[in-house]
Amino acid sequence: MTETLHSSAAPLVGVIMGSDSDWRVMSDASQALTEFGIAHEVEVVSAHRTPDKLLAYGREARARGIRVIVAGAGGAAHLPGMIAAVTALPVIGVPVPLAYLDGMDSLLSIVQMPAGIPVATVSIGGARNAGLLAARILGAADPALADRVEEYARELQAQVEEKSTRLRA
């Protein structure tokens, strides 16, 4: 599936995952990007099952206008690291938890990159934070977007204060 989500603008973020079964987790990244009005695409790219597609996706993403890649995979999760190996774009890895090992296998596969090829790894199942981190990265060169990120942080703060007030009532 290749799907461009949110607006008809060219996608700035590529949300990729090793299997359509990862969507139950990775949809949170897409949701966060949509909330910030960031055009993005969603694609299944498997490091092991579709290696040629992985290489083509990584090598062509920057020329297509993609600015950040969010890559999620489970188990022997080589997708984020392999994508990072063939692109200069920032890559955010999402460890997808599977039925065994509580996602520790995915986390360790993604987080332990050799020096020189970085992957910014979020928590196990932390796809929402991956989407938010992509928004922050894009916001570094887009003041209006950075303002929305700050506004979101203020909303979170207000929510915490409201809950605290309710507890005291």
In the annotated binding site for substrate, the residues are 19, 22, 49
Using an 8 Å Cβ cutoff, are 31 and 128 in contact? yes
- Burial per residue of 38-74, b for 16 or more beta-carbon CB atoms within 10 angstroms, e otherwise: bbbbbebbbbeeeeeebbebbeebeeeebbbbbbbbb
46 binds ligand RP5 (CB under 6 A): yes
105 binds ligand RP5 (CB under 6 A): no
In the complex, what is the shortest distance from the CB of residue 70 to ligand RP5, in angstroms, rounded to a whole number?
13
74 binds ligand RP5 (CB under 6 A): yes
45 binds ligand RP5 (CB under 6 A): no
Distance set, CA 126 to CA 36, 42, 49, 164 (Å) = 17, 17, 24, 25
97 C-beta neighbours (distance < 10 Å), count? 17
In the complex, what is the shortest distance from the CB of residue 120 to ligand RP5, in angstroms, rounded to a whole number?
18
> What is the size of the binding site for ligand RP5 (CB under 6 A)?
11
21 binds ligand RP5 (CB under 6 A): yes
Considering beta carbons, is residue 7 or 112 the nearer one to ligand RP5?
Answer: 112
CA–CA dist 54, 136 (Å, integer): 25
| Options 12-20, 28-36, 59-67, 135-143: segment touching ligand RP5 (CB under 6 A) | 12-20
In the complex, what is the shortest distance from the CB of residue 125 to ligand RP5, in angstroms, rounded to a whole number?
11
In the complex, what is the shortest distance from the CB of residue 17 to ligand RP5, in angstroms, rounded to a whole number?
6
Q: Which residues are annotated as a binding site?
A: 19, 22, 49
In the complex, what is the shortest distance from the CB of residue 82 to ligand RP5, in angstroms, rounded to a whole number?
11
Binding residues vs ligand RP5 (CB under 6 A):
17-19, 21-22, 46, 73-75, 96, 98
